[in-house]
Amino acid sequence: MKQITCEMCGSHDLIKQDGLFICQHCGMKYSLEEAQKLIIEGVVDVSGSTVKIDESEKIQNILMLARRAVREDNRDDAIKYYEMIAIKDPSNWESTFYPLYYRAFNCSVDDLKHMFSSLLANLKTVLVLITQSNMTEIEKEDNIKQIHQAYLSLIASIARVITDYANDSNIASRIRNENLATYGIYLASFIYSAGDKFYALHDNVAETANVAVSLWKQGINVHLSVLNLVRDEKPHYKVIREVKEKINKFDKEYSLPERHGACYIATAVYGSYNCPPVWTLRRYRDFYLKKTSYGRAFIRFYYAISPRLVSMFGNSTLIHKWTKKLLDQFVNYLNRKGISSGYYKD
């Protein structure tokens, strides 16, 4: 890009008036010939009353370097180049998205909540820039897919950070488990909210609905993976079921993934995997049923059929009430036989 620079003060703000170019900063006047000598780089439009600097060529060159850095996963260079573009072209979605995105990879577990908030605000801005731009529909969909893939990579990276924390032997086990559940739920909530940001624009770009569904499913997987670590699962299952309902509007066949070792029907009836009746039933499973061949066969049958039953009848108030009555009687029987209802971890 070329600019006219005042030799007296260095300003680029020159106005054409009565055949002369006048610096609006210091008042210095230049003829057309003198102004041409002041050009330092690029294309200058002097056809109107205001000197216009065309920096599009320079922006494209920097953008090429930035995209090359992305392909090479050179995060530092990508941040540097995209921040240069953001100063010159704030409407460029890539320069709005990638600097914060790449910085998120270096986020510690202590900063997750703040980082998630910043990423969501940034995502909303980026998606609006794309959907309200003059791009073709195909270009918009391609860019949405690009952001989706970027988010999947970021989610995987953050999950590894949380897992590394969980494996830190220098932290007391109880505190580690409590924090692991908190961080996992933070991550699930972030993924849900990111899906919501995409879904909010599904009327503008069809691809955003597909991305939203993909992220909601990912969020449920993360959420379910940490439920064994919380004391009260009921509010979490409420959120999970609400997200599942949103998914089913687009994917009617979707059902909640199985939780390894979970007491599906009991959890659905009592609203939590961690409550006294379910603790009793889990003890009965682990210390009695697993000891015999017929007990192990029953466990296999139960885990094969119960997720489907919960999916089919879980919202039936009548069946829920009837099942709870039967389970209450069985749990009371087990308690009388000496099987504890105290806290139990598989």
Q: Give, for all 346 residues of the chain, the pLDDT tens digit.
A: 456 776 655 677 788 888 888 877 667 788 877 776 666 444 455 555 555 555 677 788 889 999 999 889 899 999 999 999 998 888 999 999 999 999 999 998 889 999 999 999 999 999 999 999 999 999 999 999 999 999 999 999 898 888 777 766 676 666 767 778 889 899 999 999 999 999 999 988 889 999 999 999 999 988 887 776 777 778 888 999 999 999 999 999 888 876 545 566 777 777 767 778 888 888 888 888 888 877 777 777 676 666 666 666 556 677 778 888 888 899 999 999 899 888 777 6
How is the chain split among helix, strand and coil, in percent rounded to 5?
Answer: 65, 5, 30
pLDDT tens track for 283-315: 888 888 888 877 777 777 676 666 666 666 556
pLDDT at residue number 148: 95
- For 205, the token pair is 């770009």
0.75 exceeded by the pTM? no
Hey, what's the torsion of the CAs at 77, 154, 166, 229, to 10 degrees?
Answer: 160
Please state the separation of Cα 208 from the chain's center in Å: 14
Question: For residues 127 and 201, what is the distance between their CA atoms, to the nearest angstrom?
Answer: 8
Where do the DSSP E strands lie in the chain? Answer: 14-17, 20-23, 29-30, 43-45, 52-54
Hey, what's the torsion of the CAs at 19, 23, 29, 34, to 10 degrees?
Answer: -80
* Cα dihedral across residues 330, 336, 339, 341: positive or negative: positive
Write down the domain spans for the chain. 14-54, 107-257, 258-346
Tell me how far CA of residue 252 lies from CA of 76, 152, 293, 311, 325, in angstroms. 43, 23, 37, 12, 31
Tokens 């990276």, residue located: 157
